[in-house]
Amino acid sequence: MSLVVMKFGGTSVEDPAAIERTAAIVAARVANGKLPVVVVSAMSKVTDQLLRAADHACRGERDAALAISNQLRERHKKTAATLLKKSTQEIHEFIDEHFNSLDEILRGLAAILELTPRISDLIVSYGERISSRIIAAAFQERGLNAAHFDARQVIITDSQFQKATPLFPLIEKRAEEHLRPLIKLGQLPVMGGFISANEAGITTTLGRGGSDFTAALIGGALNAEGIEIWTDVNGIMTTDPRICPDALRVKVISFEEAAELAYFGAKVLHPATILPAVKKNIPVYVLNSRNAANEGTRITSLAPHCKSPFKSIAVKKKLSIIDVVASRMLMTHGYMKDIFTIFDKHHCPVDMVSTSEVSVSLTVDSNDNLPAIAADLSELADVKYEGRKALICLVGEDIRGQNGMAAQVFNAIRHINVRMISQGASEINMSFMIDEDDAEEAIRSLHATFFKDPDPTIFDVEARKPIH
Ligand code: ADP
Ligand code: ASP
Ligand code: MG
């Protein structure tokens, strides 16, 4: 029988109705002879609210922090009460125990007034720990042989809190030890995504949006037949449908293209998701839990040929551009190394680089370390930095070898000021940086230009037809 990892995001478990739909989707897989392993996110917005509670607490605003925690306690209890008949009491106790300990942490934080990344991870972990328990109980009451499982027993990482790196050999070993036996007994493991632990058992997390990554890690470790990412849109679309309501579903896309899109801001998939799947050549599907009949997007190793140059357009906001200007030193040996050593020292990844005879421009996520990075760089050269930038990234295997593509792209956005351009690194993306305020307008213009006449073998053009 074939094993499939099914991940349901925040909106797919946001309320009792969504959890009912999720249970039905999983039950349909079981009825088809599949062996699902289910990974769930916290209920929608819960992670943001837990972070807000932590923020209040560490500023000494204890009551505001506890008020958020209370709202969350009630939301989870109401959800459990609506969904459960037999296990309501047991789950209410579980919820109370967890929120009581969360409240203790928040009170402690309000007393010591310091929030470390380690405590932040512990606080946000409650979202997935509680949602997964409620969902497992809901599955059990709907006839599924669900077993709640703490993901922190299997997803082992280093100790880089808030964005930990998984230790894959250990995860494989733990999955064989803890998960495989459950599956062999005919049970259906249900676990929280995003949360993990270091080797000492201290809670870590995989970074925002990390539940997708959990699903891929589990899929890779157990050699699943497929990994399904269930979300609130029909699949990977030609751009973010919130920006462009006429965005089309991409039926099939390569691992490489999907990875570029995710890295450059398409929130639909966590950027690291693809790697464990690529390694084992496991197909990933992006599917809509509100429209389960839709076939979604299939991500596979081979990209089919597409008549349009691009498959999708992503946007990454909240970026800063740093200009390092040194008229004499640029070509000296070791200069670039010195620049990158500074970014490395501050654990600050660089998205895009562009050099000229006299300057180097780099783009990074806007972050609190920028003044310190700029101060270090100013030892080498003159430095300027500017925030509120956005990176637009067009992705497609068929950019390779197409003449005149850059002209078409920049013609579509000729009314917008472009700060930095990059093409080449991967041959499948063309990216440029503009002011954040121009981003949506640029996306809409590019989308109108490049998806006017979409290839029906790759894009779901049916969806564009007017409904009669
Ligand atoms: P989940 O909670 O299920 O993980 P996310 O909010 O993380 O869901 O991701 C889904 C959202 O990603 C969609 O609602 C959509 O607005 C956004 N998105 C951004 N770019 C794309 C894209 N190219 N295709 C589909 N969705 C996209
Ligand atoms: N709940 C986490 C977040 O909101 C992880 C996820 O949903 O993927 O970032
Ligand atoms: Mg997500």
Q: Which of 267, 315, 443, 447 to mutate to test the pocket of ligand 1 (most atoms within 8 A of CB)?
A: 267
Per-residue pLDDT reduced to its tens digit, 161-176: 999 999 999 999 999 9
Residue 322 contacts residue 384 (beta carbons within 8 Å): yes
* Residue 129 burial (C-beta neighbours within 10 Å; 0-12, 13-18, 19+): buried
Task: Report residues whose beta carbon is within 6 angstroms of any ligand 2 atom.
Answer: 9-10, 41-42, 47, 127, 193-194, 208-211
Taking 70 as the pLDDT cut, the residues of the chain under it are 1, 327-331, 424-426, 465-468
Q: Are 196 and 166 in contact (CB under 8 A)?
A: yes
* pLDDT confidence of residue 304: 80
pLDDT at 467: 46
Among protein residues, the one with the nearest Cα to ligand 2's atom 6 is 209
The ligand whose atoms approach the alpha carbon of 209 most closely is 2
Name 384's Cβ contacts closer than 8 Å, sequence gap at least 6. Answer: 322, 323, 325
Strand 2-8: give its sheet, edge to edge.
146-149, 188-192, 34-40, 2-8, 226-231, 284-288, 297-300, 252-254
Mutate to test the pocket of ligand 2, among 47, 135, 203, 214 (most ligand atoms within 8 A of CB): 47
3-state secondary structure of 2: strand
Q: What pLDDT, on a 0 to 100 scale, did the predictor assign at position 381? A: 87
DSSP H helix total and E strand total for the chain: 14, 17
**C-alpha of residue 267 to centroid of ligand 1, in Å:** 5
Q: In this structure, which ligand is nearest to the CA of 9?
A: 1
| pLDDT of the residue at 468 | 47
Quick one: pLDDT at residue 356? 79
Q: Considering every ligand atom, which ligand is closest to the CA of 193?
A: 2
Q: Is the pTM of this model over 0.95?
A: no
Strand-pair partners of 365: 319
Kindly report, residue by residue over 83-101, the tens digit of the pLDDT.
999 999 999 999 999 999 9
Atom 9 of ligand 1 has which residue's CA nearest to it? 268
Hey, which of 41, 196, 270 would you mutate to test ligand 2's pocket, going by the most ligand atoms within 8 Å of its Cβ? 41
